[in-house]
A and B are shown apart, each in its own frame.
Chain A
Amino acid sequence: MTPEGSLLSAEGLHKKYGATPALDGADFSIHPGEVVAVMGPSGSGKSTLLHCLAGIIRPDSGTVRYGPHLLTGLNDAQRSALRRTDFGFVFQFGQLVPELTCLENVALPLRLNGTKRKEAERQAREWLERLEVDTVGGQRPGEISGGQGQRVAVARALATRPRVIFADEPTGALDSLNGERVLTLLTDAARDTSAAVVLVTHESRVAAYSDREIVVRDGRVKDMLAGLI
């Protein structure tokens, strides 16, 4: 594996939950503008790998490097700050704050970064437009469809113009048509801003939107591209 020129890379990640190892020496690297699908059977450690890469959890051992930063060497506050500014997230369920309007939800990460409310909401409106859901801006998440909700979530992940977008089963709750549209919009937007996308999925049709895939099995990562070379 050659982390050279890579935006985000990890080496020898180990993580245990109790006695169960979730990661057992996992390596990873992604380049700017690259979409990497993370596949593997359920329970193989896909999500744990994503959480470690994003600095949500700290691995027991191993290193995660993001640009010049050694992510695994930062404290919780620093990692939180990095997640606010440089990373974006899309999950399968329950990510929109139900009591905020869609527009406010998209503006939320910008506001967490300290952007003024007016400006944050202006930018949020643009993203909603781009994700083709500008009509639901004033509505609450409970009042819109799942597909619309997921687009709002993607808009929110993109709003801070993150360098890396972490998507964990982003279309898991959507039908094929909506799922494809969301993936197209997500990957297009990511490529336009040359953001890297870490796309955790168990669906090959979703993985087909990636540039390459890696397989996590028993806490280890197999890079299929490297394997083929």
Chain B
Amino acid sequence: MSPLRSPAGGRDGGAGGPTGPAHREPPAVPRTGPRTWARDLAMGMRFAAGGGRAGWIRTALTAAGVALGVAVLLLGASVPSLMDAWHGREKARENLGQEHDPKPADDTLLHTSVDTTYRGAQVRGRLVRPDGARPPLPPGVRRLPGPGRMLVSPALKELLDSPAGALLRDRLDYEVAGVIGDAGLLGPAELTYFAQSATLREADAYRIDHFGRSWDPTPMRAPAVLLVIMTCVALMMPVMVFIGTSVRFGNERRERRLAALRLVGSDVPTTRRIASGETLFGSLLGLAGGAALFLGGRQLASVITLWGINVFPSDVTPGPLAAALIAVLVPAAAVLVTLFAQRGVTVEPLGIVRGRPAIRRRLWWRVALPAVGTLLLLPLAGERPWTDTAPNTLRLAAGSMLLLFGVTALLPWLVDAVVRRLRGGPVPWQLAIRRLQLSSGSATRAVGGITIAVAGAIAIHMLLTGMQAGYAQAYAESGKVPRIGLWGGADSWPRTQKALTALRATPGVTAARGTIDANIGRLTGPGNAPSHDTHATVAVGSCAELRTLARITSCRDGDVFVTDARDPDSPVRAGATIDLNPRVGTDDRATPRPWKIPEAARATALRAPGHGPGLFSYDLLLTPSVLDIARLKDPDVEFQVDFDRDTPDAVEHLRNTAAHINPTMNEFSAVDNPHDQQLGSVRDGLFTGAVVTLLLIGAGLIISTVEQLHERRRLLSTLDAHGTRRATLGWSVLWQTAVPVVLGLGLAVGCGLGLGSLLLTMIDTPVTVDWPVVAGMTAIGGGVILFVTALSLPPLWRMMRPDGLRTE
């Protein structure tokens, strides 16, 4: 029998003469059990591994794409455990006091927070004074530093040792006795210290008998949840698209090899399985590479601070379930994408038959995706205020994913629809448009990633900007006047007076005023209803200080003034008896401390009555000798310090002075807007992410463009022989890239703005469009076009060489 006889021929022969000696049994149809699958996949993997240089390049490209995707997925999967570790350490080291302090004992200490800000950076400080020999210790601290000594975090040590830390060294007036261990730090970049003070007053601190408490972090507010969900969606989707694109690298050559396999008798499902095997090999390599990339990349965690969160590399560990899912699903997805890519493609023994020469791009399901997404989101926008419930979160994630994914699905249809209507134009334009008309698939697939990345980035950015706009406005309003407020526990007027002198002597300070403030209340005697709600405020200060508050004409020490701030219900009037120890709750058993306001008290008008920054609401003004400060309940000292913006480090000098007056003094100011810094870091992250994504996609585009050029080498040489200008073909490559990218970007900007508006409406924030960001994103997209074209030109020139004309 002829070896050339086909199985079909064999069957025909069999029908004619079943007993013929030359008859051969028709080959049994192989059952496609798991073993067949395994065999074919293994064969495909062998092809991928043994495919020579070109084969390896293709495998490497697939692996690189998958590796990047896997690394990002692993990073995403690490976020929950990262936050757990972070919060866990936070919980273990804090104890800001209980409502009922323990009694002083051998194992208690006084503890207070002395946080400060140094040139915009937050420095966390804790000051303790042990009551006995066995004080509790926070994690990371093995022995309490001696009095006047402190333990510092490595980052703070570095800052203090550097010239840039000179001013801070002056503020943290303790001797460095050691370093806090990692267990006591949130992250390697955290600036923190733990000091013992011999002079810490009980009034300024809490007494505690242990560190750590069951303290749960405040749940993220709804806008933050929105932000996190959107980031995940916007980050993951391009990765998916990129994995999808990278498993298709070198598809055309692979198809030729598969055709050869068909020629030697493998059937269509087998070739598909073999093709999947090849992809599987690349994606398994990618999986390993991604894991390595992730392990290497997480070392960077120590230098990255995002949303004020900085962690140790070891915190960046994906959950075991998530890691296992990634390890299984990514290769599986790669195989599925390969099988999916081959639908409509029939590999015949003598070549490839594109089953559907022009795949009708159906509109309905492409429109259905974003439409369903919008429908999911719209009711959420109507619900005000938006609440972060599980169904809402799910709806939001699903809705925005559908919307973003819908955009990528819509893009091929859009490109098709637009390109189909284009005709004419100059030669490069015609070449590009015709090319896109014939097959726009590979280009739009890659551009789909750009679309998601840009749309997502714009939406997130709008959300961020909207959220931050409120803060920014408030800070801008408060920060108009260069002023810092300081407050802390007060003990006596002379010390306050000294502090004022010190503040005024500080370089850069233009003015300072300060008073001792306290709450007073109506005296509740028998028959009087508890009146904890009828509080009034008293300010104690020298005549000069009181004059800054009210229009006082004559004043001597011993004078008392009643202001016009009192409401009709106020107990404050000349000759009235008030309670200096008012109750703060109905169950407060404070003993009343009655005090009679002198009859000689004069009425005065506040300079700026009201509540708010720069406004005063004192009811009673006292000169220092009228009353012993100690009789007041929890007297606070409050300073308002004006400084000169042009004096360098005026704020830092001022803080140093304050720290020397009393390290536990608190500051309130609008000097550093922490939200600005957060927004800045997130914006940087977002831009970096978008640029990296776009570059990745650009790399994909370059590969597919060069691959396409390579396929057309002979044609390009022919065109060169005809005298075609290089510029003509260069422009056609540019247009060919530009048309889908421009359409994709247009779609992305539209979708991003729409989604952003929707999200802003959900958090009840006026919709504002950050045009510079839109422009920035668009510029990056344009940059990608140029980048792809520029990098495609050298291969284009090379392909145009007459070598391609050789027939060998």
Taking Cβ atoms with an 8 Å cutoff, the residues of A that contact B are 42, 47, 51, 54, 56-57, 77, 79-85, 87, 89, 91-100, 104, 108-109, 111-112, 117, 140, 166, 168-169, 172
Q: Which residues of the partner chain A approach B431 to less than 8 Å between Cβ atoms?
A: 97, 99-100
| A166 to B715 CA separation, bound complex (whole angstroms) | 16
Do the beta carbons of A84 and B718 come within 8 Å of each other? no
| In the complex, B802 has a CB within 8 A of chain A | yes
A85 cross-chain contacts in B, Cβ below 8 A: 723
Stretch at the interface among B113-121, B288-296, B388-396, B432-440: B432-440
Query: Which residues of chain A are within 8 angstroms of B430 by Cβ–Cβ distance?
Result: 100, 104, 111
Chain B residues lying within 8 Å of A91, measured Cβ to Cβ, are 714, 718, 721, 805
Q: Is B722's beta carbon under 8 Å from chain A?
A: yes
Query: Which residue of A51, A81, A87 has the most chain B CB atoms within 10 A of its CB atom?
Result: A51
- List residues of chain B with CB under 8 Å of any chain A CB: 424, 427, 430-431, 434-435, 437-438, 712, 714-715, 718-725, 728, 802, 805-808
Chain A: which residue is nearest B720 at the CB level?
A56
The CA of A93 and the CA of B438, in the complex, are separated in Å by 20
Chain A residues in 8 Å Cβ range of B722: 83-84, 89, 108-109, 112
Residue pair A89, B721 in contact (C-beta under 8 Å)? yes
B714-A93 in contact (CB<8A):
yes
- Are B802 and A56 touching (Cβ within 8 A)? yes
Nearest first, the 7 A-B pairs at minimum CB distance are A83-B723, A84-B723, A94-B714, A99-B434, A99-B438, A95-B718, A80-B723
* Chain B contacts for A98, CB-based, 8 A: 438, 715
B725 CB contact (under 8 Å) in A42, A80, A166: A80
Q: How far is the CB of B793 from chain A (nearest CB, A)?
A: 15
- The residues of A that contact B714 with a CB separation of less than 8 Å are 91, 93-95
> How near does chain B come to A202, taking the closest CB pair, in angstroms?
10
B724 touches A97 (CB 8 A): no
- Asked whether, in the complex, the Cβ of B807 is within 8 Å of the Cβ of A51, the reply is no
* A42 / chain B contacts, CB cutoff of 8 Å: 808
Complexed CA–CA distance, A159 and B715 (Å): 18
B-side contacts of A54, CB under 8 Å: 721
Are A94 and B718 neighbours in the complex by a CB distance under 8 Å?
A: yes
Q: Is B427's CB under 8 angstroms from A111's CB?
A: yes
Shortest Cβ distance from residue B804 to the other chain A in the assembled complex, whole angstroms: 8
Known: A80-B725, A172-B807. A140 touches B438 (CB 8 A): yes
> Contacts A84-B722, A87-B723, A112-B724 known; A47 to B807 CB distance under 8 Å?
yes
Which chain B positions have C-beta within 8 A of A47? 805-807
Chain A residues lying within 8 Å of B424, measured Cβ to Cβ, are 117
Which residues of chain B come closer than 8 Å to A80, judged between CB atoms?
A: 720, 723-725
Question: B427 contacts which chain A residues (CB < 8 A)?
Answer: 108, 111-112
Chain A nearest CB, measured from B46 CB (Å): 32
Known contacts A51-B805, A77-B725, A97-B431, then 16 further A-B pairs from the complex at CB < 8 Å, ordered by chain A residue: A47-B805, A47-B806, A47-B807, A56-B721, A79-B723, A80-B720, A81-B723, A94-B714, A97-B719, A99-B434, A111-B427, A111-B430, A112-B722, A117-B424, A168-B805, A169-B807
Cα–Cα, bound, A81→B720 (Å) = 11
For A82, A83, A96, the residue with the greatest tally of chain B CB atoms inside 10 Å of its CB is: A83
Q: Please, how many angstroms separate the alpha-carbon atoms of A97 and B434 in the complex?
A: 10
The reply to whether B807 and A94 contact each other, CB–CB distance below 8 Å, is no
- Which chain B residue lies CB-closest to A101? B434
- Please measure, in the bound complex, the distance between the C-alpha atom of A47 and the C-alpha atom of B431, giving whole angstroms: 28
- 24 pairs, CB–CB < 8 Å, chain A vs chain B: A47-B806, A51-B802, A54-B721, A56-B805, A80-B720, A80-B725, A81-B723, A83-B722, A84-B724, A87-B723, A89-B722, A91-B721, A91-B805, A93-B807, A94-B712, A95-B718, A104-B430, A104-B434, A109-B722, A111-B430, A117-B424, A166-B721, A168-B805, A172-B807
A100 to B724 CA separation, bound complex (whole angstroms): 15
Complex alpha-carbon distance, A221 and B715, angstroms:
28
Chain B residues with Cβ below 8 Å from A97 are 431, 434, 715, 719
Q: Which residues of A contact B718 (CB under 8 A)?
A: 89, 91, 94-95
Q: Using Cβ atoms and an 8 Å threshold, which residues of chain A touch B438?
A: 98-99, 140
A100 touches B434 (CB 8 A): yes
A109 — nearest CB in chain B belongs to which residue? Answer: B722
Chain A hits for B805, CB < 8 A: 47, 51, 56, 91, 168
Query: CA separation between A87 and B721, bound complex, in Å?
Result: 9
Q: Which residues of B contact A100 (CB under 8 A)?
A: 430-431, 434
| A109 contact set on B, CB distance < 8 A | 722-723
Report the bound CA distance from A42 to B806 in whole Å: 11
Distance in angstroms between the alpha carbons of A95 and B430 in the assembled complex = 17
Please report the C-alpha to C-alpha distance between residue A108 and residue B424 in the assembled complex, in whole angstroms. 12
Asked, given contacts A51-B805, A99-B437, whether A94 binds B715 with beta carbons under 8 Å apart, the answer is: yes
Residue of B nearest to A82 (CB): B723
Q: Kindly provide the distance from the CB of A216 to the nearest chain B CB, expressed in whole angstroms.
A: 15
Q: Which A residues touch B712, using CB under 8 A? A: 94
Q: Are A83 and B721 in contact (CB under 8 A)?
A: yes
**Which of B434, B715, B725, B805: most chain A CB closer than 10 A?**
B805
Let me know if B435 and A99 touch, CB within 8 A. yes
Q: Is the pair A112, B802 in contact by a Cβ cutoff of 8 Å?
A: no
Nearest CB of B to A85, in Å: 8
A83 to B718, CA, bound (A): 11
In angstroms, Cα B427 to Cα A94, docked, is 19
Bound together, the chains give a CA A108 to CA B807 distance in angstroms of 24
B723 touches A57 (CB 8 A): no
Tell me the nearest residue of chain A to B438, going by C-beta: A99
Chain A proximity of B432: nearest CB distance (Å): 9
Contacts of A99 in B (CB 8 A): 431, 434-435, 437-438
- Which residues of chain A come closer than 8 Å to B720, judged between CB atoms? 56, 80
Contacts of B721 in A (CB 8 A): 51, 54, 56, 83, 89, 91, 166
- A81 to B427, alpha carbons, bound, how many Å? 16
Select the residue from A47, A54, A94, A98 with max chain B CB neighbours within 10 A. Answer: A94
Within 8 Å CB of A51, what residues of B? 721, 802, 805
Cα–Cα distance between A104 and B424 once the two chains are bound (Å)? 10
Name B432's closest neighbour in chain A (CB-CB). A99
Question: How far is B216's CA from A189's CA once the two chains are assembled, in angstroms?
Answer: 90
Q: Which of B430, B720, B728 has the most CB of A within 10 A?
A: B430
Residues of chain B within 8 A of A117, CB atoms compared: 424
CB B731 to nearest CB in A, in angstroms, measures: 12
* Contact in complex: A112, B728 (CB < 8 Å): yes
CB-based contact A112/B725 at 8 Å: yes
A216 to B805: give the CA distance in the assembly, Å.
18
Rounded to whole angstroms, the CA-CA distance of A47 and B805 in the bound complex is 8
Cβ-closest chain B residue relative to A89: B721
Interface-centre pick from B424, B434, B721 (highest chain A CB count, 10 A): B721
CB closest residue in chain B, given A55: B723
* Smallest Cβ-Cβ distance to A95: which chain B residue: B718
Q: Are A57 and B802 in contact (CB under 8 A)?
A: yes
- Tell me, in angstroms, the Cα distance from A146 to B766 when the chains sit together: 65
Query: Measured between alpha carbons, how far is A54 from B717 in the docked complex, in Å?
Result: 13
| Docked CA distance A108–B728 (Å) | 12
Contact indicator B719/A92 (Cβ below 8 Å): no
Among A91, A92, A172, chain B packs the most CB atoms within 10 A around the CB of A91
Q: Which of B424, B431, B438, B807 has the most CB atoms of chain A within a 10 A radius of its CB? A: B807
With the chains together, A76 CA to B718 CA distance in Å? 16
Contact B723 A92 (CB under 8 A): no
For A168, list chain B residues within 8 Å (CB): 805, 807
Q: B639 to chain A: closest CB distance in Å?
A: 77
B609 → chain A closest CB, angstroms: 79
Chain B residues in 8 Å Cβ range of A172: 807
Identity of the chain B residue whose Cβ is nearest the Cβ of A84 in the assembled complex:
B723
Closest chain A residue to B439, Cβ basis: A99
Closest Cβ of chain B to A134, distance in Å, is 20
Could you tell me the distance in whole angstroms from the C-beta of B544 to the nearest C-beta in chain A?
A: 87
Query: Cβ of B802: which chain A residues have Cβ within 8 Å of it?
Result: 51, 56-57
Q: How far is the CA of A98 from the CA of B807 in the complex (A)?
A: 19
A197 CB to closest chain B CB, in angstroms? Answer: 15
Q: In the complex the two chains form, what is the Cα distance from A190 to B437 in whole Å?
A: 35
